[in-house]
Structure 1
Amino acid sequence: MKPEREFVAERVVANHCAQLLRPGPSQGELVTALTRAAERLAREMAGALAGLLGGEEPLVECSRPERTVYSDYATMQVMGHRNLGAYTLFGAGQANDRILGMVAGEVVLRLVDRAFGGAGVAPQQLPRELPLSAQLMVQRLEGLIAGCLAAALGAETTDAIRPLRREGNIDHLAPFGNDEPIVALVFSVTEPGRPAWAIEMAFPYDTLATLFANGQRPPASGDHAPADPREAPFADVPLPLSAVLVDIRLPLAAISALEVGQILPVPVARAVPLCVGGQAIGRGTVGTVDDRLAVQLSQVF
């Protein structure tokens, strides 16, 4: 069948915007987005670990992201932790995108000893498998990591990150393919008078692409850069900085019975939060300088 006339387009063919057709984030952009999220995750972990460790927030610091492949990462795990650890495969979102979390078996046993009133000492001869009491501690750590990661990523629900499988041996868990590229993070946990320990996490790039597909890319060329707080007109804006030395809670009955001269014992935290407008921006250690009370900064968020 031959048409009687040639068809002519009534409209100009669409010219698609280059920004709309921009490819997904590069691996470098994904690592940058993960670095920012890891800083938020460290702050979330510090608050959540306080309840597990006796009430005082530890210092949680995150390492720089390390790009590697899973086979090399697994080999280092076996060498560093004698293949005894709490390895958990987490799922993110409806597709259960994979995330690996790990706490060394020796650390889990020390936490169990503290939970039962001990000094936090692990046996010199580690068992081949974690006992039941340690498995219960691992479940608490899994819930803590999942909740903190969901909060750091801005998830709308607390169950956005879920533990899927758990093993005491990383080879039994096999969370990723041997040649799969991943990005590893180490969160060091430091408490006064105790040995430091770590929570480790590993993310494959496909998971990062899902987590940071929206809203995590650097601004496109031509966008305005963020204002510099060290330049006018913002540099001279006065902001009250408060250091919360003491924050105690008393029942209403005790407050109503307060009298002049009464002494209230108040514990001064070792890590004092520094706040601007009710938002914590760092932590410091209380001390003295020239017979005046002072705070030495130990962490800036």
Structure 2
Amino acid sequence: MKARHCKELLGTGPSIGELVPALSLIGERLARALASGLARLSGGDAPVVRVGMPLDGTLGSIQSELEGLASHTLLAVGAESRPMLAVFEAAPVFRLVDRAFGGRGDVPDPLPDTFPLSAELLIARIEGTVADALSIAFGGEAKHTVRTVRRETSLRQLAPFDRNEELLLLSLEVEETGCEPWSMLLAFPQTTLSALVTVPRHPRKARMMQAAPDPASEPFASMPLQVKAVLVDMTMGFSRLSSLKPGDILPVAVARSVPLKVGDRTVANGTIGELDDRVAVQVSHAF
């Protein structure tokens, strides 16, 4: 008979906020693996793949940001088939198809209501490349292998998970020489990420065991360090950037977990709040 354990003994799984640092690290590995995979796919030089900050959302919030046709792919991780989602908007797909046939990357105007066979075949190849890169980013072990399950142009028909389930969203932008950047969106349910990553539950105790200098002692204590709180990290096409003018409004989504950086290194994560009528950051995790 298998042992059963109550939630009170096992404790609850990591929260969305606790999963953000882990997904950031996965995103960095994913960007490197995806660049290599896309180079093999195109037969050219490796593109530059940039990964944005993880944002929280739901299927409803994803749907509200889409305009027109898009391809939605359900992916499954491991033998337990833990779900995740990849979203490819129509315009980047048509640009890639046009370039594949020797064009300049033009997009039909207006966009069609469905993808032609040429676009479907290209999406299938990109899906395979993304799945392989995710498998590497998750550790490269057989139990973390990612595979494609099915594809739909309607999120409602695909129904990868509950519409209101909490998700972490990761945006990736691909830049190739002489071409307009294109992007994709990955969505991870909290339950999927919780099963794939290990979140340290006692970071303070772990730090005490390290034989490191005391930062509160001289000469370290008085060293001035510039700390940046990155509220928004967004990507924008060059054509959009060059057309900006006073009065334009740029919609942005502030992440639930805001990284605090010293130089290029993230030293902590926190949440935005208010203290004495001033914007403040409450530190939730420190590394």
Displacement after TM superposition at 1:132 (Å): 0.9
State the match for 1:155 in structure 2. Answer: 140
State the match for 2:191 in structure 1. Answer: 206
Contact 1:188 1:199 in 2 (8 A): yes
Q: Structure 1 residues 118, 226: CA separation in 2 closer, same or farther (over 3 Å shift)?
A: farther
Displacement after TM superposition at 1:141 (Å): 0.6
Query: Pairwise mapping of residues 1-301 of structure 1 onto structure 2 (< 5 A)?
Result: 23-77=12-66, 79=67, 82=68, 84-157=69-142, 160-212=145-197, 215-217=198-200, 220-223=203-206, 224-225=209-210
| C-alpha separation in 2, matches of 1:34 and 1:201 | 11
Displacement after TM superposition at 1:189 (Å): 0.9
Alignment: residue pair count = 205
Contact 2:79 2:143 in 1 (8 A): no
1:103-133 deviations in whole A, cap 9, x for unaligned?
1112112212222222222222221110111
SS of alignment partner, residue 31 of structure 2: helix
State the match for 2:231 in structure 1. Answer: none
SS of alignment partner, residue 203 of structure 2: coil
Displacement after TM superposition at 1:182 (Å): 0.8
Displacement after TM superposition at 1:220 (Å): 3.4
Q: Structure 1 residues 85, 115: CA separation in 2 closer, same or farther (over 3 Å shift)?
A: same
Aligned CA-pair RMSD: 2.4
| C-alpha separation in 1, matches of 2:81 and 2:29 | 22
| C-alpha separation in 2, matches of 1:41 and 1:222 | 30
Q: Structure 1 residues 86, 196: CA separation in 2 closer, same or farther (over 3 Å shift)?
A: same
| Structure 2 unaligned regions, length at least 5 | 1-8, 214-263, 266-287
| C-alpha separation in 1, matches of 2:103 and 2:78 | 38
Q: Which has more radius of gyration?
A: 1
Amino acid in the other structure paired with 1:110: R
Displacement after TM superposition at 1:25 (Å): 2.5
Provide the TM-score with structure 1 as the length reference. Answer: 0.62
Displacement after TM superposition at 1:176 (Å): 2.2
| C-alpha separation in 1, matches of 2:51 and 2:203 | 28
| C-alpha separation in 1, matches of 2:30 and 2:61 | 25
Contact 2:144 2:196 in 1 (8 A): no
SS of alignment partner, residue 185 of structure 1: strand
Provide the TM-score with structure 2 as the length reference. Answer: 0.65
Displacement after TM superposition at 1:221 (Å): 2.6
Amino acid in the other structure paired with 1:217: P
Displacement after TM superposition at 1:188 (Å): 0.8
Contact 1:65 1:185 in 2 (8 A): yes
State the match for 2:3 in structure 1. Answer: none
SS of alignment partner, residue 107 of structure 2: coil
After TM superposition, where is structure 1 displaced by more than 6 Å over at least 4 residues in a row?
A: none
Q: Structure 1 residues 226, 44: CA separation in 2 closer, same or farther (over 3 Å shift)?
A: farther
Displacement after TM superposition at 1:155 (Å): 2.9
Percent identical among aligned pairs is 38
| Structure 1 unaligned regions, length at least 5 | 1-19, 229-298
| C-alpha separation in 1, matches of 2:163 and 2:103 | 40
Q: Structure 1 residues 203, 226: CA separation in 2 closer, same or farther (over 3 Å shift)?
A: farther
